[in-house]
Structure formats: C-alpha cells, structure tokens
Amino acid sequence: MLLASGEVKYVDVNDLPSGAKVGDRVVISNIDEVVVGRKITRSEDAIVIDPTAKYDFPTSKPNSPNPDADSFHVLDEAERLMRENPNMSGQAVKFEEGLMSKGASGRQYRRLKRVREKIRKLEIKKRDIGLNNLENQELAKLRKEIEPKTANHLDAVDELKGTDGRTLLVEPHVKLNPEVAIDVNYAQNLLNDLNRPNAIKKAMAGAEDAIGDGSSALATIAEQIKGGVKPAEIIRGFKHGVKSEEYLTPLVNISRKLERMANCPKSVIRRLALEIKKTQEAVEWAQKYGAASASGRKAPIRDLPEWAVGYLDELKKHL
C-alpha cells in the first residue's frame, strides 16, 4: 500500500522485505518491488509506516476513550462543516495558496530531497572506491543536516517565547525529523496566527484591550454578539470570523498530513485537534447566533462552547 502526502510518500511495512523497520527511508519502483537503501530506475523515495498502528482508530465515535480517536473525529467534523459551507472552502483554498506561497515548505522539502540524494551518491562512492578528505567532510556535513533537531530551532516555536505555552504544538526540547519539523513549523504558524503571541501576552497581563484569551475563536464569537445578524468589527478593519473560517481548512489539511507521518509526535495531532475543535465551534456558534438574531432583535447568549463560558461576562459587554 503506497500512500502520498504532498512531496512525501509512505509505504506499508508489510509490503517490504524482512529487515525493514518502521521509520526507515526506502526506495521503491512499484508496490511489488521494494529495495531498502538502493536506487532503482524510475523509483521513488518513501518512508516506512505501519498503517495498522496509524489508522485503526474509530473515526466516528466522539466519546472514545482513545485521544487519538477523538482527534480523528474532530477532523471528520471539521470537514463536514466545510462541506456544508462551500464558500468557506473557496476562501480557504485561496488563503492556503497565499500562505504556502509565502512559506518555505516547498523549498525546504526540495532541499532535503537533494541532500538525501547527495548522501546516497557519496555513500555508494565510499563503499565502491572510497572518498577523499573533502568528500568525507561533505558527507559528514550533509548527514548533520538530516539529523533530528529539537523544536526550539523552529521560527514558529521561538515566536512563542514569553507566553504561557498553551498554544505550543510540541515542547521545545522534543527532537523532530527534518520533514516532520517543516510541517510542524507550518502548523505552529497557523496556531500563532489564530492566537497572536502579543494578544496572548496582553491577555496574560489583563490588558483592557485584550479579547478574552487572545484567540481568533473567542473574537469570532464577540464580533457576532456585537453585530447580531452579521458580525461587527471589534478591531477596526479586521473580521475574526472570516479569519477563523479561512484557517479551518489548512488546519485540517496539515493535521491529516502529520498524522500520516510515522515520526510525528501524537501530542502534535492532539493539540491541533483541540484548535480545530475550538475554531469550528466558534464558527458554528456564530452562524447559529446570527440566524437567531435575524428575527429583528439580538438573541440571548446561550449554549456557549465550554472553553468560552469563562468569558461570559466579557462577552456580554458587546451586547
């Protein structure tokens, strides 16, 4: 079974000859012909995974005691919301294309691929005829580039210094493989944009102009309460409801990608699931409140998401 996710491909450990392990990088030419560590004409690199371990969670049981099952359920529910709101998906596709064009993910993946290919060629040469001193130094330098590194070297993680860390996807000391690190950094950037570090710091300090916990999700609810039928701006020139809708699709997409990566910490998937659930609940609550307000008067604040209940008094100020 060959799976693809962006530029990274995965192969079922059961399709490999004995000796290959989960997490190995292998070279394949087709499903039936797999050779570990050797290049084949018209072949592709792939990472070995165990699909049974990654995909046997029940994806439709919201009350599962398995936290990973809960994560899958959240993704399913978020995708349902996007299917029911086609305009949301359209906004998100345009948004994600813009976000990716500004990011370095594609370039980083291509660079890693070139580095791994150089390593492969140098290792073959070393085995066959040996390397000179300069080539040995180059090989050592290249190998260092693909070593797992701690998350604190990621720009998006570094941006959260001075906050309470509640939006961190992974603890700074945790080591990540290069491909995983690229996507974790992308995902962390999404969370940083939905929970601006400066807004979090203001909320921690009790600043009067902070909106609750500093999240786009809570601001989405506050804007809807202020506007009634249609959301009204709390911060001039900015609509958090639109932002929350736009970010939901890339959040789900990167979550689906990361949960297929054998070396991605499961805590990352669980934390992303929490953010997806929070964003989804804010968008759905705002939609229901707007519909209830369409009768000509503002609807009462009721049935708030659990995470927003503690900010009820603050939200009432916008009535």
Which pLDDT value is given to residue 236?
75
Domain ranges for the chain, please list them: 1-54, 57-102+148-319, 104-147
Across the chain, which has 319 residues, the per-10-residue mean pLDDT values are: 47 59 58 38 53 34 43 57 56 46 64 92 94 95 94 92 89 93 93 90 82 92 93 84 91 90 90 95 94 83 92 87
- For residue 5, the cross-strand partners are 8
Which pLDDT value is given to residue 136?
95
Which pLDDT value is given to residue 269?
92
Which pLDDT value is given to residue 195?
92
Which pLDDT value is given to residue 101?
38
Which pLDDT value is given to residue 83?
60
Which pLDDT value is given to residue 108?
83
